[in-house]
Amino acid sequence: ILEKIELTDGFNPGLVETKLKIFLRRSNISHAKKELLRLLAFSPDNPHYLMYQSDIYFIQGYDVLGLQVLDTLLSRNPKFIYAKYELYNKELTFGSKDRALKILSEIFSDSLQRDEEKARLFYPLLFDKSLYTSRTSKLDSIIK
């Protein structure tokens, strides 16, 4: 259906992005890459499109490359909160817990971030016993 719409209406970045999301959800990496290349040709510096590149790397198991893409996005725009959320989650899963906590601390210190979002990000850490190694845990320093 989406292909027919695109054939009729021509290139539409929103439509291409929808196709990309579908391919990612289905782990169809070869098709996802093709759609991503089309989006990047249209807007090479779009941070949302570049986040899809990190998604593809993570799906392929190239965690280090995925983390590098997110780091690059944040070095270009430190206030791009979606990349910061993603980097926090990926560091927590694939990278360094200490780095994840540092990122979470930055998010907590940002007064523009909603408390609900902060709580959602913080919640998984409550069950990680490795963070409670002393009387004052690493988590205490974040929420103070």
Concatenated DSSP letters of 54-82? HHHHHHHT-HHHHHHHHHHHHHH-TT-HH
pTM over 0.85: no
Same domain (yes/no): 144, 80 = yes
pLDDT at position 117 is 84
Q: Is residue 133 part of a domain?
A: yes
pLDDT at position 30 is 97
Same domain (yes/no): 16, 82 = no
What is the extent of the structural domain holding 90? 62-144
pLDDT at position 124 is 76
Please give the tally of structural domains in the chain: 2
pLDDT at position 111 is 80
pLDDT at position 144 is 58
pLDDT at position 132 is 63
Angle at 58 between CA 57 and CA 61, to 5 degrees: 90
Same domain (yes/no): 69, 11 = no
pLDDT at position 96 is 86
Angle at 67 between CA 37 and CA 83, to 5 degrees: 75
Q: Is residue 86 part of a domain?
A: yes
Mean pLDDT, each 10-residue run in order, the chain (144 residues): 80 92 95 97 94 95 95 92 91 86 87 82 76 60 61
